[in-house]
Amino acid sequence: MSEETLMIDPPVESAPAQAPGALPRLLAGILPDGAMSLDEHFAVHGQAPVPARRRERRSESPLIERIERAGLRGHGGAGFPTATKLRAVAASRKRAIVVVNAAEGEPASLKDRTLMQTLPHLVLDGAQLAAQAVGADELIVCVCETARASVEASAHAISERLGMPLDSARMRLTAVPGNYVAGQEAALVNCLNGGPAIPTFTPPMVFEQGVRRRPTLVANAETLAHVALIARHGPEWFRQLGTASQPGSALVTLSGALAHPGVYEIEHGASLQSLIDAAGGMLANPRALLVGGYGGSWIGGEFLRGVALSDEHLAPHGASLGAGVVLLLSQDACPVAETARATRWMAEQSAGQCGPCVNGLDSIAAAVQEIAEGHAQRNATQRIERLAALVHRRGACGHPDGTARFVTSALNAFALEFADHARRGHCEGCARPGELPLPVHRPAGAPAHEPTLPR
Amino acid sequence: MSPRVRVNPIACEAHGMCAELLPERISLDEWGYPIVDSEPLTPAVLDHARRAAQACPTFALLLTRDRD
């Protein structure tokens, strides 16, 4: 248990003048290219709050309570309350480990690698503060090995902080495989323990027994960057942006036929249109929106005018912001072919461990492909819906659930297109190159898995 | 609190013994993997559930108690 804690009042003069709560927050002072150095980082954000001795040994770190009042939830996709997670790790008597999760195996998401590449010190600040709050003396920064610039910037940032008195946890960097499920927290812990980057059966949960059997906080890189700012400015400041149920800002990866696709910081609840405007507008009318990535949901083009980017606004569409993937599909693309390709890729990304996932996702991908090619059996869409329900919650991780959600949302959003393909097969758009980003080669660490039949 | 049945999907190899020994709570999908009703076990089926868990060749069937 750590004896370090935070002073409640950070030195005001170290914070730069800025409209209270305004955007950009995380992306303040971002450089056109390259990473922000430690000195530049402190010039923009001020020093991190100074740890002071905690009066009572067993009392909780005030930072956890501030994060709770801020209402911060994880930005890795699941949206779990960050304070609850910190508290679970802090409650253990054993010394904890903090893992910074920038594995980002979702091909349509770039925000965590961008954060590590451009603003590594904001993440490392938050990680050190979280380490103090949970009583961790070791911090492992996990960055996707395919994101070379992010790995290099992270390594340099860690070296810049050597000997910094406020950093109480020693840091090391690990480049982790780029397969889709590598970022799932048990998979990441499995990888750090010398195993493959694939999920394990829980319990034990990683907050009880994680890296080297020690209680482990696995936190998304962006989430920790928010922690760094909440520690400086407090929960009231954090709540000046966003909605009551989802306060604060979020990084989103915006892609599609836009003037300037890329990573943006939005206020939760911002309209899709305002994000499109910030990216210089659409180059062509969008046909549909994919929110949350390949474990997320399609929203049909007819709804796009009214879409706002928060979980409460997206819930009526069966969607949530997840890790912030916002992808606009163009009118020329074939949504059936796009869905078929991405579903096949997701089936291949199964770790191959759980029967319902291995067999179910393969069957779903095959059925979608048959519809796309026009030789599906009758009731093929009903079969997909039945299979999607069948795999739900039957894997060791959420991979089958996410893939099922993605496919069923496609059946909803593109009902006409699916019916058309089932009757007539390929359309003009089918021949176009795919718009959904998919890694061409299967990344190392993600071997191909043939579906297995029971003996 | 009564225990519930749970499957470790990584360990499960679709032998199907559980569905034979505990049909009240377990059926098999089209690939032979168990679909489990995870409602708390009633006293009437508790012994059958224990026997099914013991019979699983890969120890993939678990009886779990809620932790409060």
Task: List CB contacts of A435: < 8 A, sequence separation 6 or more.
Answer: A256, A329, A330, A333, A338
Q: Are B9 and A390 an interchain contact pair (Cβ–Cβ within 8 Å)? A: no
Q: How many Cβ pairs within 8 Å bridge chains A and B?
A: 48
Closest partner residue to A454 (CB to CB) among B9, B10, B14 is B14
pTM of the model: 0.91
pLDDT of res. A450: 38
Residues linked to residue B64 through DSSP beta bridges, in sequence order: B4
β-strand partners of A347: none
Q: What percentage of chain B carries pLDDT values higher than 90? A: 91
Q: At B7, which helix (H) or strand (E)?
A: strand B4-7
The ranges of chain A with pLDDT < 70 are 1-20, 51-58, 441-455
> DSSP letter at A63?
H
Burial class of residue A12 in the structure, from the number of CB atoms within 10 Å of its CB (0-12 exposed, 13-18 middle, 19+ buried): exposed
b/e sequence A357-393, b meaning 16+ C-beta within 10 Å? bbbbbbbbbbbbbbbbbbebeeebbebbbebbebbbe
Cα A235-A54-A91 angle, rounded to 5 deg: 75
d(C-alpha A46, C-alpha A58), whole Å: 29
**Residue B27 pLDDT greater than 80, yes or no:** yes
Across the interface, of A200, A359, A396, the residue whose CB is closest to B31 is: A359
Show the tokens assigned to A383.
């079969």
- Kindly state the percentage of chain B with pLDDT values over 70: 96
CA separation for the pair A338, A30 (Å, rounded) = 34
- Contact: A455, B13; criterion CB under 8 Å: yes
Residue B1 has pLDDT above 80, yes or no: no
Task: Kindly give, in sequence order, each residue whose CB lies less than 8 Å from that of residue A313, ignoring residues fewer than 6 positions away.
Answer: A269, A307
What is the rounded distance in angstroms from the CA atom of residue B62 to the CA atom of residue B5?
Answer: 6
pLDDT of residue A55: 54
- Helix, strand, or coil (residue B36): strand
Cis peptide before A439 (omega within 30 of 0): no
User: β-strands A297-300, A286-291: how paired?
Assistant: antiparallel
Residue to mutate among A181, A201, A390, with most B CBs inside 10 A, is A201
Inter-chain CB proximity A394 and B9 less than 8 Å:
yes
Reduced to 3 states, what is the DSSP secondary structure of residue A371? helix
Which A residues, 198 through 257, put their C-beta within 8 Å of a C-beta on chain B?
199-201
State residue A12's pLDDT score.
Answer: 38
**CA distances (Å), origin A136, targets A128, A129, A168, A379:** 9, 10, 8, 54
pLDDT tens for residues A193-214? 999 999 999 999 999 999 999 9
User: How does pLDDT run across A141-196, given as a tens digit for each residue?
Assistant: 999 999 999 999 999 999 999 988 889 999 999 999 999 999 999 999 999 999 99
- Which residue bears the tokens 């058309």? A420
Amino acid A441: pLDDT: 52
Element (H, E) at A379: none
Indicate which of B7, B13, B33, B62 best probes the interface with A, i.e. most A CBs within 10 Å of its own CB.
Answer: B33
